[in-house]
Structure 1
């Protein structure tokens, strides 16, 4: 049978194959720079706005949890994905890049946390951290001129006890790279894994930034740091050039078209569903998906929102309810997945779609791949996962959200404060933070015994910085659905916490 534009209704088996492919999306969407979870060719999707993040000249890359920091670090480090990224971003000349790992947070990814703890003992960050990071940088750089030798940080510290020796060795590497027309990029990812103690983490990252900044004197040696924006703002960093570093930073932002493009690209290259997806796309009069990842740049469904909306409405229907009052299926996920800072991440988006597909499999969905009700259910799952992820970094977050369960938002600030006061929330959260050596939920003056009474406004301000709370123009507090649903707050006309 010849397939013409709009001439064929998708077969049930095609619908099922596509739905099953979406249900196979990795719910964690987690990536490590090396190892089993490293970036894979079939998962590479390159939004135009991310070009700056991969540019070797960009030192600092900022992205929220799940925005793709470790994914891009892995893409840059591994040769096959770097080659593909070079095709997708030809201006960056990634083919002339050598990439080494300074720190990656997992085994066989640069220096380990154990090495850091041994060579920079707790309390000695001010004196020992800068020489240590210079030793790590030297170890990565010397692979250019001394490729057959190991360059462990301990050995590098001894070898370059004299700073001039370090400068001379780096200059030799720089000259060699320049002569070969290459650039060395040293990648630092998963920086929160350096230490669980936020005070120590501040000292270590402060020294790392100073060491990286000094590389500006070389022509062909660069470093790239992947960090979360909240890390940058919450850590007590004293690096004097930080404003310059921040001003040149790239942000891993994801627009609505980027996320749907990512989803459709994953379906286009799914080994088991590519054919079914191709037939489905063609049946909507949208042509054929690309056969090679290199063709994603010119595939209209990568970035054209109008065409994306047409395809997704064929997959999930036009509206979230009987009519437009409940919102369009195409817009609804993006609008409800944003945090208080306006960020929507691939992790949350893929979790929503994956969960919706799983639930649609067990229901009579007819010709639809995803049912609107399952999309709402997917938001519930994405909210739960996002709070769980926050809890790993801020172990007090669930204790702070717990007293708010059942509140209806938006609400006056005092409603929040009263709930926290009644449950002694600030005191309990500070206790948890101290036990876990985590960032405290409110500022604490270590030089004197802090009075934690009347600190509820400070707690609200902390949540606002994290994107968990927002303040409306009329002064009332609101909570984005991404957190509200998992925290069991209510909202008129909004998705209820429980299905």
Structure 2
């Protein structure tokens, strides 16, 4: 399997294609323990006292929301981060998320909006959800069949609710464990920013209300644009909740650590060989953890942050340069740099998607190449990851496509006046306002759609999402991960995708 260059390129490409997932989104499903990679910066986010976890799309919010529901993965986390307070025996419930709502889980969007329109306080809705899950099965609250009836009961029996929660808190304290209710995908909770902000504000209030308990906790996974403190944190003691907030980010070292996690734990027969060769030739030390009947390999933390070893290992896979010589850049830094948003953040989903696409493209175009990944295929992999990122944005924020499509062909950096003119010619803002007024619209419009008449509110929205970047001289720049997918140009940059079909992914 190895040659003088350490790897047989065709064999290694086969391992990459076998190990890296074709579909990188879990859609609420529990991940496999062997592919769970825990960046050091994420450990604090898993602690029960970290009530608010913030991150961009694809940073890992829904991943950890799903992972914490699985006792085996909690056992793994307990081994990897013993001081995080996560354990196999802790009790976890879902208060809202990507799974289906129902009488035994949580109220869905239509129920929530009906409750809000009836004047029910958002804080009371979430307090009822948490109390319902925390209580025992024979409690009066658990017997009631609908959320509306439960909320009415909680409203009219506050002392009983307090007493029941205190009893449950004592029981979990005596068992030396935690009870935690997880909330995710709050964009699905409402069809207007006003209602979503009310619900998030009420959820943060609920998290505050449960902090005095010793063992009852609420954990909220929020997108960065959902935590507008002026809208959702204007209540007493909000600072106590936000002080414990943690942002999910990925360093370059952790992105490659995730790659090794997939390669070392793949079902492919070559996974063991990859581990052996990376240890023998590159000094990468591996550790084993047993999770039930599953063996989980991981690179030792000291090696994860050894940049020289990581770079050497990856360049044995991808080659040393992004062209015929060093002037085109080096794959180890080039790939993360070209996948970063305007804030410098890289989605691990985009990273894995780019590498898988690069392996597939090398197989098809350069099967005899002397490394597993060809540099031109890596560029096409970034194009593929960009198209996926664009599709994800369209799913979460359909209005972004309406603003970016008219900019196809623009070369960045450019003056904002050129952007505003393109929007005006395409009547993009007018279309967004009409869309926002339709009752059937099921996705939130831009938060600052009505801010001023010169489109600066929309510029602010795109900057907050990491799509636009304001240069030092006030012009608009767009990072490659979005620029390529939306068909904008840059002198000397990765070529943009040109067709609407490619934008759809």
User: How far apart are residue 439 of structure 1 and its match?
Assistant: 3.8
Mapped partners of 1:337, 1:230: distance in 2? 20
- Is residue 131–residue 157 contact of structure 1 (8 Å, CA) maintained in 2? yes
Q: Are 1:67 and 2:44 counterparts?
A: no
**386, 389, 392: which one pairs with 2:389?**
386
Q: What is the match of residue 267 of structure 2?
A: 271
User: Hey, what does 2:123 align to over in structure 1?
Assistant: 130
Structure 1 residues 395 and 421 mapped into 2: Cα distance closer, same or farther (>3 Å)? Answer: same
Q: Deviations over 1:247-281 (max 9, x none)?
A: 32101010000000001111000011312422442
Shift of 1:118: 3.2
Structure 2 residue aligned with 1:156:
150
Deviation of 1:344 (Å): 0.8
Structure 1 residue 174 displacement after superposition: 0.9
1:467 corresponds to which residue? Answer: 466
The reply to whether residue 405 of structure 1 matches residue 398 of structure 2 is: no
| Deviations 1:349-374, CA, capped at 9 Å, x for gaps | 11111111111121224331111111
Equivalent position of 1:84 in the other structure: 76
- Between stretches 235-244 and 126-135, larger displacement belongs to 235-244
SS in 2 for 1:224: strand
Deviation at 1:297, TM superposition (A): 6.4
Aligned to 2:256: 260
1:193 CA displacement: 1.8
**Deviation per residue, 1:408-456 (Å, 9 max, x gap):** 11112222122222222211222233332544336356xxxx9x7x422
DSSP 3-state at the match of 1:101: strand
The aligned residue for residue 292 of structure 2 is: none
CA displacement at 1:17 relative to structure 2: 3.0
Secondary structure, in 3 states, of the residue corresponding to 1:127? Answer: coil
> 1:17 aligns to what SS in structure 2?
helix
Shift of 1:111: 6.0
Cα 1:230–1:287 change in 2 (3 A) is: closer
Q: Give the superposition deviation at 1:233.
A: 2.3
TM-score (norm: length of structure 1): 0.89
1:285-327 residue CA offsets vs partner (Å, 9 max, x unmatched): 3356444466636254433221110011000000101112111
Gap regions ≥5 residues in structure 1: none
Aligned to 1:170: 165
Q: What is aligned with 1:195?
A: 190
User: Is residue 34–residue 296 contact of structure 2 (8 Å, CA) maintained in 1?
Assistant: no
Contact kept? 1:395, 1:433, Cα under 8 Å = no
Any unmatched runs of 5+ in structure 2? 290-294, 499-505
Looking at structure 2, the residues matched to 125 and 239 of structure 1 have their Cα atoms a distance apart, in angstroms, of 22
Question: Partners in 2 of 1:400 and 1:46 — Cα distance?
Answer: 36
Partner of 2:12: 15
Provide closer, same or farther for how the CA distance between residues 141 and 85 of structure 1 changes in structure 2, counting only shifts above 3 A: same
Determine helix, strand or coil for the equivalent of 2:94.
strand
Q: What's the CA shift string for 1:144-195, capped at 9, x where partnerless? A: 8869966764553354322111111101111111122221111112222222
The residue aligned with 2:501 is none
- 1:335-354 to structure 2, matched below 5 A, reads 335-354=337-356
